[in-house]
Structure formats: structure tokens, C-alpha cells
Structure 1
Amino acid sequence: MTVKNKTILITGGGSGIGLEAAKQFLEQGAKVIITGRNQDKLNEAKKKYPSLTVIKSDAGNPEDAITLFNQVKALGGIDILYHNAGVLSPLLNLGIPDDRHAESAAYEMEVNYLGVIRLNNIFMEMLQQQEESAIINTTSLLRYVPSIVEPTYSASKAALGFYTESLRKHLQILNSRVKVFELLPPVVATEMTADRTGKKLSTQEFVKQFITALKKDQYTIRIGDTKALYLLNRFFPKIAYGLVNSKESYKSLQ
């Protein structure tokens, strides 16, 4: 996959992995558009990297998706749609009745799963018209092994993983030029993981490895601990489950 001179749209690009990806894609000679819900973060990103194009847009909002498409079309279109936006709801014990269980799950599925499908559908014709284009869906190592403290988040990423595999095969059957990548991060040092202890990969190193794999057309991009967990889960699923769900995880639910 060629990155230089491509126009890339990154959802959730105002901070964390998304902003670091925007920075490194710019350094690779790409044009970058980032979206996000927080205008202040977008403004700060624009101030830091003036060549960025920023658009306020909520990845889970159907109306925003249509508006975003029209704005991107007016700018000349894109070659790569990179779904980076994601949400993680606060910890809730599913064993205790609480209306927030369904509310949290619906929110996560709307942003992490349905929002991705919605944007892919809207932008598909535009991407089909490019000589070389791509869709990048971000799942997680939790798409292989669920976390008991992040149950519905894990489910949303598992759903996105299966969808990504199917989308790739559908486009291959149609002889489409749109490449479909699945990006599987380990635990990366971002705002979302700020309260976690233990090993975390820096955003800089994560994005560096991601772009290297993208340029090699590595359609399933497992980085860091995701590689080890994937293999371990295939042959020793109980051990993999135990690594993801430590004794501290059980204590947090009590």
C-alpha cells in the first residue's frame, strides 16, 4: 500500500493513536483529514500540525456521517478511510441488574461497530473509484479473548473483527481495488488506558509498526502483545484467558 500522496481520513484523530498516526502519515507525504467530537482537541491538533484538515464529527452519529462525507467530497475525496475512533464504557458488573448495561453496550456498539459500517457504506463508492484505496478497521487483542471488566467493548471488537474479514472477502470476490486491513493494537499508552498499570506500548512505536505493515499489504496487523496472545489463544486458550483476566480483574467486580 502506497502512503505518499494519498489522502487519509482518520476518525478520532484529535488525540492519542489517531493524532500520532496523523503526524506520521504527514511525515510520509500523505494528506490527512482528522475528525473528532471535541473541537478544542481538533483546534490544538491543527495548531500543532498546520497542514492537517480538521472536521468536527461524531463517529456514532448517523447525521454527522452524511455531513462528513459531503465535506470530504468537497475537499476532493479520500484514498484511505482509517477507523480509529472508539469508546470504552465504565466498568459495570453484569451480574447486578442495572439499566446502564444496555445503555453502555448500545453506545459502544454504535461507535465501535455500527459507525464503522455506516461510514464504509457511505464512502465505498468514492474509494472504489481510486486506483488504490483502503479501509482500516481497528479492533483489539480483546477480539480474541474477552475481558471480564470490558465485556461489551470486547464484544464490539469481536463483531468488528468478523465484519472486517467478511468485508475483505466480499471485495475480493468483486475484484475491487479497495484493500481491507484489520489493525489489532495491544495495550497502548493513551487516555483510554491511563488508569491501567502494567505494560503499555507507546503511541509512537505502535504507529511506526502499523504504517510499516500497511505499506507491506499485511492485511491483518497484529502488533506487540496481540501477536503472542493470538497464538497462545489458538493452542492454550485457558492460559490466554487467564492472562487477560487477572485476579485483580475479579476483585474489581466484587
Structure 2
Amino acid sequence: MDLKNKTILITGGASGIGLEATKQFLAIGAKVIITGRNQAKLDAAKKAYPALTVIQSDAGSEAETKALFTKVQALGGIDILYNNAAVLIPPSNLGIANEKHIEGAAYEIQVNYLGVIRLNNIFMDMLQSKKEAAIINTTSILSQAPSLIEATYSSSKTALAFYTISLREHLKIIGSNVKIFELIPPLVATEMTADRDDKKISPQEMVKGLINGLQKNNYTIRVGDAKLFNLINRFLPKFAFKIINPAKSHQLLKK
């Protein structure tokens, strides 16, 4: 896929992977629009990259998604929708019997799964009007082996992975020109994972792998250790489960 001169909308683009993607997409000649909930972070991103367009929007809000579409349409539309935004509720708030469990779980599903479907649906006609267009859905290795301390996050990414496959095949059947990519990252060094001491890759490496996959039309893009983990999970699923859930993580479940 040729990314130069494409207009890309990145949800959750004001920090972490989204901000790094902004930097690298701009560097190869793409036009970038980012969204996020934090206006201060959006302003900082705009200051760092003046060519960037920023729009405050919550990926989990139906009303804000509709408002976002109207603003993007007024700007001339997009060629690529990169669903990067996601939320992860801290394990301490998600105990099985914890009163906040259902509240946190609902929020994760709303943003990580339903929010993606809502965005895809509202932008689909716009994307299909383009000569070459794409949707990038970010799942996780946790869609292959669940994390005991991040059960609903894992579930939301599993749901998204199956939805992505279904959407891709559906669009093929109707002859759509919209390409559907699934990005499967390993653990990435961001604010969300700052308290984790597991092996991580940098956002720079993650986005470099994403762009390489897009340019080669690899519809399932596994970056870093996600490639090896896929093989381990296929042939040694019990071992893969232990990789995701080492003995030290069990202590969090007892708290």
C-alpha cells in the first residue's frame, strides 16, 4: 500500500504508539489527523508537529464519534482509519468480586471493541469512495492467550480479532476496495505499561513494523515477539499461557 499523500486518522494519537505513528507517517509524506480525550496532550502534539491536525474526541462515545465524522468530512475525508485508542483498567480494580469490576469491564469493551466498530461503520462509506483505503485494527497477543489479571482487556482484543477477520472477508465478498489490517503487537513501552517489568519493545520499533507491513500489504501484521509467540501458541498453547501469566502475576489476583 502506498502511504504517501494518504490522509490517516489515528485514534488515541496524542501519546505513546499513536504519537510515534504520527511522527513516522508524517515523515513518509502522509497527512495525519489525531484524536484523543486530553486537549493538553493534543496541543503538545500539534506544537511538536505543526502539520498535524488534532481533534478532541473520545473513541468510546457515540456522540463524539458522530461529531468527529462531521469534522473529518469538512476537512476532505480520510484514506486510512487507524484504530489505535484502547483502555486498560488496572488489575487492582478488576477483582472478580470487586464492586468496580463490571464498571471497568464495560468501559474496556466500550472503547476497545464497540468503539472500533462504531468508528468503522461511520467512516466506511467515506473509505469506500477512495481509490485505495484501509482500516487498521489493533489487537494484541492477548487475543491468543488471555491474561489472568487483564481478563476483559484480553476478551475485548479477542472479540476485535474475530471481528477484523469477519470484516475483511465480508468486504472481499462485496468487492470493496477497503483493505483491513490487523496489527498484533507484543508488550510496548508506553504509559499504559509503565508499571510492567516484562520485556517490551519501543514505540519506534512497533510503528516501523506496522508501516513495513502496510507497505507490503501484509493484512496480519505481527511485530517483534508477537511473531514468535504466534508459533509458540500454535504448537505449545500451555507454555504460551504461562508466558502471559507467570507465577508473579498470581500475587495480584490474591490482593
The answer to whether the 8 Å contact 1:141/1:226 transfers is yes
Q: How does 1:139-218 map to 2 (within 5 A)?
A: 139-218=139-218
User: Gaps (5+ residues) in structure 1?
Assistant: none
1:99 to partner: Cα distance: 2.5
Local SS of the residue matching 1:182: strand
- Measured in 1, the distance between the counterparts of 2:168 and 2:159 equals 14
Matched residue type, 1:167: L
Query: Equivalent residue for 1:221?
Result: 221
Superposed CA RMSD in Å reads 1.0
Query: Equivalent residue for 1:120?
Result: 120
Query: Equivalent residue for 1:84?
Result: 84
- Measured in 1, the distance between the counterparts of 2:250 and 2:137 equals 30
1:113 to partner: Cα distance: 0.3
User: Gaps (5+ residues) in structure 2?
Assistant: none
TM-score (norm 2): 0.98
Query: Equivalent residue for 1:21?
Result: 21
- Measured in 1, the distance between the counterparts of 2:13 and 2:93 equals 31
Instruction: After superposition, give the CA deviation of every residue in 1:138-176 in whole Å (9 maximum; x if it has no partner).
Output: 000100000001100000000000000000000000110
Q: Structure 1 pair 179/251, CA: closer, same or farther in 2 (3 Å)?
A: same
Q: Percent identity?
A: 65
Local SS of the residue matching 2:142: helix
Query: Equivalent residue for 2:39?
Result: 39
TM-score (norm 1): 0.98
Instruction: After superposition, give the CA deviation of every residue in 1:16-54 in whole Å (9 maximum; x if it has no partner).
Output: 000000110000100000000000000000000000000
The answer to whether the 8 Å contact 1:92/1:101 transfers is no
- Measured in 1, the distance between the counterparts of 2:23 and 2:201 equals 17
Local SS of the residue matching 1:158: helix
The answer to whether the 8 Å contact 2:94/2:100 transfers is no
1:136 to partner: Cα distance: 0.2
Query: Equivalent residue for 2:11?
Result: 11
Query: Equivalent residue for 2:65?
Result: 65
- Measured in 1, the distance between the counterparts of 2:158 and 2:96 equals 24
Q: Structure 1 pair 217/96, CA: closer, same or farther in 2 (3 Å)?
A: closer
Matched residue type, 1:172: K
- Measured in 2, the distance between the counterparts of 1:165 and 1:188 equals 23
Question: Runs in 1 of length 4+ with deviation above 4 angstroms?
Answer: 92-96
Local SS of the residue matching 2:102: helix
